[in-house]
Structure 1
Amino acid sequence: MIEVTNFSFDYIQIILATTASLMFALGAQWQKIGLATVDWSTGAMVLITAATCTLWFFAPFFMHWQYWLEPEVLIFASVGLFRPAVSANLAAAGIRYLGPTLGNALASISPLFDTVMGVLILGERFTWLMAIGTVGIMIGILLLSKRGEIKANWPLWALFLPIGAALLRALGHLLSKIGMQSGIPDPYFASIVGFTVSAIITWSAQGLLRDSTLIDWRAPGIKWFALGGATTSAGIICLNVGLLRGDLVFISPMAATSPIFTMLLSVLIFHSERLSNKIVCSTLIVVISVFVIALGN
């Protein structure tokens, strides 16, 4: 009976992590459409704001208001200071300076940081099977991202842009898990606090650095980024539920498979990409790696 219970629990964790990954991938598709008429910085602001508004819309049904009086709320607020406002912009800047191939490749190493933090800080168990599966997922994502030419001339410091984005994502996962385990076991509350702070930071930066009157709020891309924000908020909740129920070293690699879902959606639903041997190979590597991680757990 104990083995059956453990298997069922792992199965729920897999569903949560893959659902989060799928939501992030769907959000990326909406953003891709929106970028046709809206620049990235404006789109990111709309996305973060829409995600925050979506969470607050459902707050009367899911919010536990007494948690605002708990000191652990500061942990969730600290996450909002850098994720997604700073991490997303670092990743975008990395692609700008390094090109999409190297920028996306370096930004995909977030599971490595998650693993190190989970083992060293949280004391989580990390098996050889989980290590093999994590490396397999990263190989599959790197293989998928290897498209186009790598820029020849870029400053050395630009390497720290996508690496910094990956580090901040991992740090956000760690702090969210610590906050939920230490006093506020509420994934919805963790999500809404983090995104609210991030929205405030984003709008403050917008007011200081740019003239908001230059933004064309009637551009078609605005609604697509808003839809991306709503989808992303659902993904964040699934991710936080997974982090509350399972180990960081188990949830993070699976949630990092969103590039695979993004490509599959492009091929099967949006028809913006063509099926290739590389896509098939990458997908198989990631699927097998997820299965190996589940066995290792």
Structure 2
Amino acid sequence: MDASQLYRMLVFATVVEQGSFTRAADKLGVSRSMVSQHLKKLETRLDNRLLERTTRKVCLTEAGRRFYQYCAELLQLAEQAQQAGLPASADLQGSLKICVPNALGQSHILPRLGEFCRQYPKLRINLQLEDMRLNLEEHHIDLAVYTGQARGANSAQTDAQWQHLKLVDYQEILVASPEYIAGHGRPVHPDNLEQHSWICAGHHLMPRPLVLSNSDNQEFRIRVTPHQVCNQTVGMLQMVMQGLGIAPIAESLVRGELAAGRLERLLPDYHLQAGGIFLTHRFEEGMPPKVRAFAEFLSQKVYS
């Protein structure tokens, strides 16, 4: 394989990463017509169509989707080689796409993000506040933070350590406003919960299971039907504050409201399933320095 073919593969991967010929041209520092020529030559060489072009976007064909998997690895290696040649970590540059749940982003990461940006001024940050767990490869996300249970956590002292690293414990508790409790009563046992109005996370109003346990390791399994749902924790919290019902919300997000008396914890002797806040990235091998820098920032500064 000659060098020109390798370059065309990099051009193709950049078009997919950037989502358009124009942005890819800007990224590569060449003209849009040059990008188009390289793609045409690549498709001719492969005797296969890789992209479907419209006036608004480019889409991968089935053959293009298979071919992109290998080209993306090539692009990743090229970027890692470039980063490895930089004289110091402070000179890290390029773009870094991060996906974080909305509430965690606002309460934990955004207040400290300026510190990271001043440490690495040449890095361009693309921060997405998104409560849905997106496919990292499909959305070209370098690093994501999520809550819940670990997905394949690894404690080995290698780059795999960061693949699903637990940053901190995450405990949801049941909360309601004093106004709601005054009007609907305070539940004293899990059996009372089904009678109450519920505010739940998600996109549908279907019933869902809830599991609580006490200090004697007794489990209580109930099904609750939400009266309101919201796809973001911040929205759920606003609904609870207005007295619309009971909701399970992370303890770290409501400490201020609990201390001020604006919310009250219900059934404090019973616990929902414990989880954690985890970070994950999309690089199976050779974690890029810019991604490692942000992972270390989260681990050592935000959640230390």
Which of the two has higher C-alpha Rg?
2
TM-score using structure 2 length? 0.21
Could you say which structure has the greater relative contact order, defined with CA pairs below 8 angstroms and 6 or more residues apart? 1
In terms of fraction of residues, the more helix-rich structure is 1
In terms of fraction of residues, the more strand-rich structure is 2
TM-score using structure 1 length? 0.21
